[in-house]
Amino acid sequence: MYSRPVFRSRLRVVAEADPGALARVLEGFQNLNVLPRQVLAEVGTNDTLHVDVEIVGLTEDQLDLITAKIGRSPCTVSAYWHRM
């Protein structure tokens, strides 16, 4: 039986400081029934929201899909993920 490698990754998002922005970031994980390992959200300067989401067990394709969806949101300034 083949098992895929499990790796930790982090999604980083910068968005306008909108009350719904955090929910939109986490929605992609909810749709996949995935509970992030850690979520850190902080309001920065110039009314921006910085969100870091640590995830374990998603494939690169799943992370690409979630990141692309978040990136299409009108309030998103930038979104990317990387392995840890």
The rounded distance, in Å, linking the Cα atoms of 64 and 24 is 16
Q: What is the pTM of this model?
A: 0.88
Q: Name all domains of the chain by residue range, CATH numbers in brackets.
A: 8-83 (3.30.70.260)
Helix axes 21-31, 60-71, angle to 10 degrees: 150
pLDDT in tens, the chain (84 residues): 556 667 899 999 999 998 899 999 999 899 889 999 999 999 998 999 999 999 998 989 999 999 999 999 999 999 999 998
**Residue 51 DSSP code:** E
Pairing of strands 8-16, 76-83: antiparallel
Task: Please state, in angstroms and rounded to a whole number, the distance separating the CA atoms of residues 27 and 66.
Answer: 9
Whether residue 25 contacts residue 55, with contact meaning beta carbons closer than 8 Å, is answered with no
